[in-house]
Amino acid sequence: MVFPSQDKSRFAETEYARFRQFLEASCGILLGDNKNYLIDSRLRKLLLDRNLSSLLELLKVIEQPGGRTLRQEVIDAMTTNETLWFRDRHPFTYLQDTLLPELARRPGEISIWCAACSSGQEPYSISICVEAQRRRNMSLTNKQVRILATDISSRVLAQAREGIYEPLALKRGMTDDKLRQYFTAQSDGRWQIKPEIKRRVDFRPINLKENFLSIGKFDVVFCRNVLIYFSSDLQRQILSNIHRVMKPGGYLFLGGSETPKGLNELFEIQYYSPGVVYLKK
């Protein structure tokens, strides 16, 4: 099987269209026109390993009994897992210094949902914020804080549950001070997240395209840099479902460039310097 390195049209138009339909139906990802190169780069090894010569062959195998594992492998390969520690900084600073003290004064546990956790950097960053605030705020010391971290990719969830990171991954946003406080060095040069940070995070597979209303109720939701991959209709559906799983007075963090349709109908914008958070109406 030959993979022309410079041929951006190596997949026929019909099979490309079929694969786009499969991807959107499976996980909601809306693949734009002329993304042959993206499919090629992400599925090349999988197609070679399975001795499949086309996307149509791939889809045929997926649709057969026993194709579930391959389907998940394709979704894992096609989902974007760009992540880093304390991404953009200010949402985590605002959570730690403003929202957590406020939520500590409310009755019951504090529940936070990280809706697309990738390999764990975002939920562990949230947990570090909780731990830092607990150490200086007595009202939070006796408060139970629960963090649910979800993703559609079983591969990245396995990495997240392990909680062990290469030095290169830690250079993406983790300060030396926090590294010393919240990680333990391993003999192989990697770093393990400490138990007090890890134990409050529960990792679970969730497809945001599907019904997730049974996952609980949340004071804070992080759904950052996720909705941009979905159609406008699906963005509205996901936002509506997020709104339904939030407690009264709950807060939603989105990516800096995300302004999905339906947002203003469900949430009130609240400014803080230098960002915004959305308050449930």
pLDDT tens for 257-270 read 888 888 999 999 99
Beta bridge partners of 201: 147
pLDDT band at 81 (very low <50, low <70, confident <90, very high): confident
Cα–Cα separations (whole angstroms), residue 158 to 21, 81, 163, 203, 226: 27, 13, 9, 9, 20
- As a whole-number percent, the residues of the chain with pLDDT over 70 amount to 96
DSSP 8-state class, residue 194: P
The pLDDT of residue 1: 39
pLDDT band at 2 (very low <50, low <70, confident <90, very high): very low
Element spanning 238, H or E:
helix 232-244
Among 47, 113, 55, 123, smallest CA distance to 85 is for 123
What are the b/e assignments for 119-156, b being 16+ CB within 10 Å? bbbbbbbbbbbbbbbbeeeeebeebebebbbbbbbebb
Burial class (CB within 10 angstroms; exposed 0-12, middle 13-18, buried 19+) of 19 = buried
Half-sphere exposure of 57 (CA within 13 A, CB side): 10
* 127 within 8 A of 200, measured Cβ to Cβ: yes
265 Cβ contact list (under 8 Å, min separation 6): 281
The pLDDT of residue 239: 96
Over range 32-60, report the average pLDDT: 88
- pLDDT exceeds 90 at position 226: yes
Hey, what domains does the chain have and what are their CATH numbers? 13-78 (1.10.155), 90-280 (3.40.50.150)
The pLDDT of residue 10: 65
DSSP-derived 3-state class of residue 5: coil
pLDDT band at 75 (very low <50, low <70, confident <90, very high): very high
| Spatial distance between the Cα atoms of 232 and 237, rounded to a whole number of angstroms | 9
- As a whole-number percent, the residues of the chain with pLDDT over 90 amount to 77
- Report strand pairing: 191-193 vs 110-114: unpaired
Model pTM? Answer: 0.90
Over range 198-216, report the average pLDDT: 96
- pLDDT exceeds 50 at position 188: yes
- pLDDT exceeds 50 at position 3: no
Average pLDDT over the chain, rounded to an integer? 92
- pLDDT exceeds 80 at position 210: yes
Q: What is the pLDDT of residues 93-138, one digit of tens each?
A: 999 999 999 999 999 999 999 999 999 999 999 999 999 999 998 8
- pLDDT exceeds 80 at position 7: no
* 159 within 8 A of 120, measured Cβ to Cβ: yes
- Report strand pairing: 110-114 vs 145-151: parallel
Burial class (CB within 10 angstroms; exposed 0-12, middle 13-18, buried 19+) of 50 = middle
Tell me the two tokens of residue 135: 């150490």
